[in-house]
Amino acid sequence: MTSQREVTRTTHARVALPGYPTGIADGTSAPIRLPQREGCVSIVPPGLLDKGALFPSAKAPGYFRIVPTGLLLKSAATWGTREALSVRARFPVGWRAMSLRDHLLGWLPKRSQPLVESGLYGLAAGLSAVAFELAIAQFYSATLVRFSHWGAFNFAWASFGVMVGTSLVSGFLLNRFAPDAAGSGIPQLKLAFWKDFGFVPWRVAWVKFIAGVLAVGGGASLGREGPSVQLAGTVASNLAGALGTAKTGRRRASAAGAAAGLAATFNTPLASIAFVLEEILGDLNSPLLGSVVVAAVLGAFAVHAFLGKNPAFALPPVESDTWNGRLLVPVVALAATVIGVLFQKGSLGLRNAFRSSSLSRIPTWLRPAFGSIFTWAIGAAVFVGYGRLGVFSLGYGDLTDSLNGNILGWLPLILLTAKLFATVCSYGSGGCGGVFAPSLFFGAMTGCALEEFFRAIGVPFASDDRLLLMIIGMSTCLGAVVRAPFTSILIVFEMTRQFSIIPALLVAGILSQALCRWLQPVGFYEQVLEDDGHEISTVVPPRDFRDWEGYPASAIANYQPVFLADLEGKTLGAALEKFPYTRFVYQADNQPPGIALRQEMIEAMNQSQAVPIHAGPTCLRTDSIAHVQGLLVESLHGIVLILDRDAGRVAGLVTLHDLLRAQQNFAAQHGAD
């Protein structure tokens, strides 16, 4: 919806309108409501402007003149409950909006302005991510780390109080002010990028900041990376609004902010660029690449200025690995992939259970507290038994210790199991946190546990073999969860800065992606959107016609067809009278579905005969549009039935008209003739 701004007219005063040249108006002090639409002027409702409408003045550039109301054409558009008079006029070439962007960047060449603007987005987003990271670290150190020095009993009751209290406050904030700030935030930012043109309300930023600090800093087994991406993207989107960018033009800002936020979180700008291109934009050749690169670099500079040049956690160099370790790389890659898939199924399964099962009776604001109680129970047991805090919060302390060879024996397997269940509880209950840090933890402990197992049965390993296998596990588990293979490889490479491990990372990444896409076709973020009712194929547009043909049939299907449950005369008569369709879908229990033709239905009713049912081509909703096109060509009746995979019943249909309409919409959106 077009946003509107209200200004008050004063006699012969210059009126500053966001997105428009300054204007002159005279008359009464009645408010004028103008849509913020670049290059157009709309007429206000009758009664608000007695003399006429604001129109660009040819004699006084930068001013408006009054056009008499009698010269305007009446339109069908309405303004609220009142009919409006409207007319549009294009501004002459060279006219600019009087906005903050013009004051800051107007002196630059036009080609340079987007990159400089992206730099501002990256700097602001990077600083917000750094502030978020520092706040989490300070809160976590002041609570659970401090409590760990009080002894087991005191730690137990103190940590319980903090975790339950922070989860209640964060749950209230999320439920009351910004439900979209729950969870990782990356799926929500991706949805805002494509569906809302990059616009994210400001409340998402402050709720995400406070709730994320309380949840992750308070001990929830979640990561800060996803929240940092959403927070940074939101900050950049609102900065673009402050500079004068309309709500429909903030994709550049949100993408740049996301890259800067991830770069500041991990101190890995290359991986952050790859992630935004892979996951949010879905196009490695995106025209926003330049903006993303500039913002990522400045986001990295922001973290360098405040936290130093080191990455989120230190990875020792891999210098003396052996062939025994290298031959175990595929085993670790496949095992870490399975762990990542299990995490996705468990956490999102619990998330759906809180919505559809008996757990749905628990108030939304109270659900994170349930996850925190289970996380506390698991984490406290591990702390009492082994003195480790890795189950709580990010777990980077234990992760660093394991990379340095300080966690041995059965402990890696224990930490893996405990962290997996704790993270499923934290995320599935609606906590505010991401999945990057837990995925890296799962992968590292998987590699460590497998190295300990094979060492125990007599396979000799060098010290660096263990580190190599942990790095492989981190990369493949992260790639299996977020489905961003280039990001998962680059993020580990930037942390180690070693070219020698790239071949192993590539082999492991190929095996991991093949297995995870077989076990779980839909990635974590896409499944979150689908569970929330968003069809990803209708949200993210295809890049070209060939990509569009590869989209699933569900993108163009009609899921509200008219079904004939039986062939009784009363049913047939009601369908013929109510609907003008020439074909109806017949679907009865224990019978194969088919197609009934209108003319044959009429003839059968007149002659008291059985209605012939014709078999039609069928496909699944996941089959491609190209496959549906082939079926339509072969279909005698110009219709393809979409079957539900589980029940085998008709869920929808695609007609030739549906296909042509979808093609026309695609051509219109992409400027095709």
Average pLDDT of each block of 10 consecutive residues along the chain (673 residues)?
A: 34 34 36 37 37 42 42 32 31 42 73 88 95 96 95 94 96 93 93 91 96 96 95 95 86 94 90 92 85 94 86 74 90 97 96 88 93 96 94 93 90 96 96 94 96 92 90 95 92 82 93 95 92 79 74 86 85 88 84 87 87 87 87 86 78 88 75 41
Residues 431, 533, single domain; the answer is yes
Residues 607, 640, single domain; the answer is yes
How many residues are listed for the chain in this entry?
673
Rounded alpha-carbon distances, angstroms, from residue 187 to 238, 265, 523, 571, 591: 19, 18, 11, 45, 41
Rounded alpha-carbon distances, angstroms, from residue 436 to 398, 477, 549: 16, 10, 32
Select from 573, 571, 567, 563 the least CA-distant residue to 609. Answer: 567
Q: Is residue 108 part of a domain?
A: no
Q: Is residue 316 part of a domain?
A: no
Cα–Cα distance measured from residue 41 to residue 35, given in angstroms and rounded to the nearest whole number: 8
Residues 209, 295, single domain; the answer is yes
Q: Is residue 313 part of a domain?
A: no
Q: Is residue 161 part of a domain?
A: yes
Which H/E stretch holds residue 241?
A: helix 225-242
Structure letter (DSSP) for residue 391: T
Residues 534, 548, single domain; the answer is no
CATH of the domain at 419: 1.10.3080.10
Instruction: Break the chain down into helix, strand, coil percent, rounded to 5.
Output: 60, 10, 30
Residue where a domain terminates, one of 49, 67, 98: 98
Q: Is residue 195 part of a domain?
A: yes
Q: What's residue 313's pLDDT?
A: 66
Q: What's residue 47's pLDDT?
A: 37
Residues 78, 144, single domain; the answer is no
Q: What's residue 646's pLDDT?
A: 60
Residues 48, 180, single domain; the answer is no
Select from 573, 627, 620 the least CA-distant residue to 598. Answer: 573
Select from 428, 424, 367 the least CA-distant residue to 174. Answer: 367
Structure letter (DSSP) for residue 51: S
Q: Long-range contact list for 343-346, CB < 8 A, 24+ apart? A: 343/420, 343/423, 343/424, 343/435, 343/438, 343/439, 343/442, 343/481, 344/481, 344/520, 344/523, 344/524, 344/527, 345/520, 346/420, 346/424, 346/428
**Letter for the amino acid at 146?**
R
Residues 441, 586, single domain; the answer is no
The three-point CA angle 660-662-666 to 5° equals: 115
Q: What's residue 267's pLDDT?
A: 86
Asked whether the beta carbons of 436 and 495 are under 8 A apart, the reply is no
Q: Is residue 107 part of a domain?
A: no
Placement of tokens 């390993």 in the chain = 461
Select from 329, 326, 336 the least CA-distant residue to 443. Answer: 336
Q: Is residue 519 part of a domain?
A: yes
What the block records as the tokens of 172 is 């209230």
Q: What's residue 101's pLDDT?
A: 67
Q: How many domains does one find in the chain?
A: 4
Which H/E stretch holds residue 162?
A: helix 152-176
Residues 125, 63, single domain; the answer is no
Residues 390, 482, single domain; the answer is yes
Residues 586, 604, single domain; the answer is yes
Q: Is residue 103 part of a domain?
A: no
**Letter for the amino acid at 491?**
I
Domain range for 387 = 323-538
Cα–Cα distance measured from residue 332 to residue 29, given in angstroms and rounded to the nearest whole number: 73
Cα–Cα distance measured from residue 597 to residue 584, given in angstroms and rounded to the nearest whole number: 6
What the block records as the tokens of 89 is 């006029």
Residues 408, 423, single domain; the answer is yes
Q: Give this prediction's pTM.
A: 0.74
Residues 195, 148, single domain; the answer is yes
What the block records as the tokens of 579 is 């609907």
Query: HSE-up of 168 (CA within 13 Å, CB side)?
Result: 7
Q: What's residue 327's pLDDT?
A: 93
Q: What's residue 652's pLDDT?
A: 87
Cα–Cα distance measured from residue 424 to residue 442, given in angstroms and rounded to the nearest whole number: 12
Cα–Cα distance measured from residue 160 to residue 168, given in angstroms and rounded to the nearest whole number: 12
Q: Exposed (0-12), middle (13-18) or buried (19+): which is 83, by Cβ within 10 Å?
A: middle
Asked whether the beta carbons of 425 and 345 are under 8 A apart, the reply is no
